[in-house]
Structure 1
Amino acid sequence: MDTVSKTKWPIIVGMAPALLIYLVFAIVPILISFYYSTMSWNGFSDMEFIGLANFREALGDPIFWQSLKNNLYVVAASVFGQVPIALFFALLLNRKLKGGKIFRTIGFMPVVISTVIISLVWGMMYNSRNGLFNQLLGAVGLESWAQNWLGDPKWAMISVCITIIWQFIGLYLIIFLAGLQNIPDELYEAAEIDGASGFKKTLNITLPMMKETIIVAVILCISGSLRTFDLIYVMTSGGPGHSTEVLAMYMFDQTFSSTRFGYGSTLSIFIFIFSLGLVYLATLILRRKSAAD
């Protein structure tokens, strides 16, 4: 008890700067957005209180619902694409392969490369006339499979999601590698003595020990997917016909292009609510499944 009382104030003092920064740059803007969401304001004239009119407009806005649907596509593609692929490669690289450090570096490179550069490069690869993908299809005699990848509403969202998956696999790869290295070797040695194969060790030791890490990765994946903006903005600008527009882009457009700061704040509130809801739902499902196992 004496140790706790002695260390309590140093801990509080040490956490205070980070807590202050978090309050100023995270909590306060959210509260301000709640205030602006009840106003009609173009950024120049006087604010006009309109209550929940912005919320009613958003719920009846078809572009809002289209943006939400596109966001859910991105979330699903990220969770079911980035996490399993990253876990698979992490399991491979954890086997002490020759040149493993080089592969880790290569895998993590897309995460640190500018998103604008990634968007431009993948945009050129998707080019309908002389893009890499259509050129490869033509080279193997599959010209009929060539598509206008970013100009066709049927393919635009899929193409964007593939790029997003590729960009962030390396982030979760590093997270999973860190989690794998924390699993005690004694567990694997005991399993080998019992005659367990590599697959059984992965199924009965590795994956159960990685559950908490996987839950954290899924939460990060969901929260990051709902903030997707720059990559789609550069690749498609939300087109064609709003087929790739996500909530963050629609909020940006309404706030700064249409100068509807009240309505833009309302959209940001919806993003906040959806983020909390999806993260809570994912955490609840994963932890219940973990407890059942």
Structure 2
Amino acid sequence: MTITLFILPALVLFGLLVLVPIAVAGYTSLFKWNGLGGLPTNFIGLDNFTRMFGDEVFRGDLWRGLVLIVLSLVIQLPLALGIAMLLNQKMRGRAVYRMLFFAPYMLSEVITGVLFTMILSPDLGLANQVLRAIGLGAFEAEWLGDPSTVLLALFVVMTWKYFGFHMILYLAGRQGIPKEIGEAASIDGATAWEQFRYVTLPLLGPTIRISIFLSVIGAIQLFDLVWVLTSGGPIHSSETMAVTMFQSGFKRSQVGYASAVSVVMFIISLVFAIGYQRFVMRRDTEGAITTMRDAR
């Protein structure tokens, strides 16, 4: 009874703020509804989902989300890991560097979006001015206005904004590795690269797996940064599922269709989360459970 009383407030909040909205979204996704005039009544079954997967824009959302996920895993996370390893070394001003690299993550997505809207402006933006100053004016572009460059520009902004968070995760994980292990490997003749490859990297496995999980889920649900930078344009070339959901629900008053998009986002996130924890993070969770049992 005591345990129940302590967890009841959290369960009530979780039910009201998470479970109920999920149920409502699932229900309204089966109707053609503009969000006004009380409860929906025009039941259309799975037509919203049929329309969604037949929509070129939504299929493009899936493709763009996959591209951002792959770029994050191939570029953003290795960059964060490399900088974390550098900042783990003894150097003058190490704390300052850590603060500078982590600072972008502390900015809100809105501030970041407004800042890079000015930096990537085609005429007076800092990016094109720097290219002209160093003699690379041929590479100037309308970064956020050209369908061929907007996704790359969006990824650069994402990397600048979020890599500091992953860097701190890796740095914390690296500092949790006992120094004696590296010293023993060094005594056995291991080079710095071999120590990293065969000692540090495996011991950082749980941290890296958590970082990958957060990066993928964040890319699937990406909205605010895209909305401030491009609103999904030009010509839907930077649109994500979350932007499509917002556009449909709040701009076009197609709440039933927007609910269907949200349901698909939820299912994709849920399937990935369950599968990832079941097959990739299984050793980590089993180790945690075993540790807790041993402590008892």
TM-score by length of 2: 0.88
- CA deviations on 1:45-66 (whole Å, 9 max, x unpaired) are 3512211111111111111111
Q: Residue 110 of structure 1 aligns to which amino acid in structure 2? A: P
Out of 24, 28, 31, which is 1:32 matched to? 24
1:223 aligns with 2:210: no
C-alpha distance in 1 between matches for 2:50 and 2:74:
33
Q: Residue 21 of structure 1 aligns to which amino acid in structure 2? A: L
1:63 aligns with 2:63: no
Identify the range of structure 1 (183-192 vs 171-180) with the bigger mean alpha-carbon deviation. 183-192
1:101 aligns with 2:78: no
In structure 2, do the counterparts of structure 1 residues 229 and 14 end up closer, same or farther at CA, with 3 Å as the change threshold? same
Matches within 5 A, 1:13-92: 14-45=6-37, 46-47=39-40, 48-92=42-86
C-alpha distance in 2 between matches for 1:80 and 1:285:
21
C-alpha distance in 2 between matches for 1:10 and 1:106:
46
Q: Residue 36 of structure 1 aligns to which amino acid in structure 2? A: T
Out of 105, 109, 117, which is 1:111 matched to? 105
C-alpha distance in 2 between matches for 1:59 and 1:16:
40
Q: Say if 1:232 and 1:244, in contact at 8 Å, map to a contact too.
A: yes
- CA deviations on 1:41-95 (whole Å, 9 max, x unpaired) are 1122351221111111111111111122222222222222221111111111112
Identify the range of structure 1 (93-102 vs 278-287) with the bigger mean alpha-carbon deviation. 278-287
C-alpha distance in 2 between matches for 1:205 and 1:195:
13
C-alpha distance in 2 between matches for 1:210 and 1:252:
38
Displacement of 1:115 in angstroms is 1.3
SS of residue matched to 2:149: helix
Q: Say if 1:77 and 1:165, in contact at 8 Å, map to a contact too.
A: no
Q: Say if 1:222 and 1:279, in contact at 8 Å, map to a contact too.
A: no
In structure 2, do the counterparts of structure 1 residues 16 and 104 end up closer, same or farther at CA, with 3 Å as the change threshold? farther
**2:130 corresponding residue in structure 1:** 136
Q: Residue 217 of structure 1 aligns to which amino acid in structure 2? A: S
Q: Residue 144 of structure 1 aligns to which amino acid in structure 2? A: A
Over the aligned positions, Cα root-mean-square deviation in angstroms equals: 2.1
**1:262 corresponding residue in structure 2:** 256
Q: Residue 196 of structure 1 aligns to which amino acid in structure 2? A: A
SS of residue matched to 1:147: coil
Q: Say if 1:67 and 1:246, in contact at 8 Å, map to a contact too.
A: yes
1:166 aligns with 2:141: no
Aligned residues: 282
C-alpha distance in 1 between matches for 2:275 and 2:93:
39
Identify the range of structure 1 (271-280 vs 90-99) with the bigger mean alpha-carbon deviation. 271-280
Gaps of 5+ in 2: 285-296
Q: Residue 170 of structure 2 aligns to which amino acid in structure 1? A: F
C-alpha distance in 2 between matches for 1:11 and 1:220:
30
SS of residue matched to 2:236: coil
C-alpha distance in 2 between matches for 1:73 and 1:242:
15
Displacement of 1:276 in angstroms is 2.7
C-alpha distance in 2 between matches for 1:166 and 1:209:
26
Displacement of 1:217 in angstroms is 0.5
**1:6 corresponding residue in structure 2:** none
**2:291 corresponding residue in structure 1:** none
Q: Residue 31 of structure 1 aligns to which amino acid in structure 2? A: A
Displacement of 1:186 in angstroms is 1.9
**1:4 corresponding residue in structure 2:** none
- CA deviations on 1:230-254 (whole Å, 9 max, x unpaired) are 1111111111100011110100011
C-alpha distance in 2 between matches for 1:57 and 1:24:
30
Q: Residue 231 of structure 1 aligns to which amino acid in structure 2? A: L
- CA deviations on 1:167-191 (whole Å, 9 max, x unpaired) are 0001111111111111122211211
Residue identity (%) = 37
Displacement of 1:17 in angstroms is 3.6
C-alpha distance in 2 between matches for 1:210 and 1:105:
22
SS of residue matched to 2:239: coil
**2:170 corresponding residue in structure 1:** 176
